[in-house]
Amino acid sequence: MILLFVFAGRRPLPFLAGTRELLLLAFSTSSSAAVMPLSIKTAEETLKVRSSISQFVIPLGATINMNGTALYQGVAAIFLAQVFGVDISLAGMALIVITAVGASIGTPAAPGVGIVVLAMVLGTVGIPPAGIALIMGVDRILDMCRTAINVCGDLVATVLMDHWSAATDAPAAETANEVAGRT
């Protein structure tokens, strides 16, 4: 939301109000792929993003922009390390971040997949994957939350790309008009 305000000049509360229905649907389905058509529609109609931008950024974001999943895996790994008494150094924390971000990029946009990827993240720093059983009871709720964060991140990226590409298109249009005026 800070990036949205600083770089695109959009206030976060109207942005969230305009995307409320989409975020609630993403929360209830736990699948960013399932809400992709509504994400594109919301970006174009509510947020006034050009269709060429929304139809490129949102499918790409649904595939690789899993920021909610990466955050979840990092927090879950630190939690389970504390439960099992595994001491994680600063280098181990950096490894968790790198592995969580890398693994979340390839995570399918389907419900429940994040818990499978978490086993790999835990294995990189020596945390027993059996600790996943402690998280399984609340994973569905966490999955719903991280999907809403992922979809919101896709929309923010779409608005930013639309804003930045509009800024770069303006000088090119002015130059084309100047050339056309000379002939």
17 sits in which H/E element? helix 12-18
pLDDT in tens, 75-133: 999 999 999 999 999 999 999 999 888 887 877 767 777 788 888 889 888 899 899 99
Burial tier of 4 (Cβ tally within 10 Å: 0-12, 13-18, 19+) = buried
Dihedral sign, Cα of residue 47, residue 48, residue 54, residue 57: negative
3-state secondary structure of 1: coil
Q: What is the pLDDT of residue 177?
A: 54
Among 139, 141, 127, 116, smallest CA distance to 83 is for 127
pTM of the model: 0.80
Q: What is the pLDDT of residue 148?
A: 93
3-state secondary structure of 106: coil
Q: Domain extents for the chain?
A: 67-141
Report the alpha-carbon distance of residue 178 to residue 183 in Å, rounded: 9
The pair of three-digit structure tokens given for residue 173, joined into one six-digit string: 């249009």
Report the alpha-carbon distance of residue 38 to residue 178 in Å, rounded: 40
CA 154-139-157 angle, 5° bins? 5
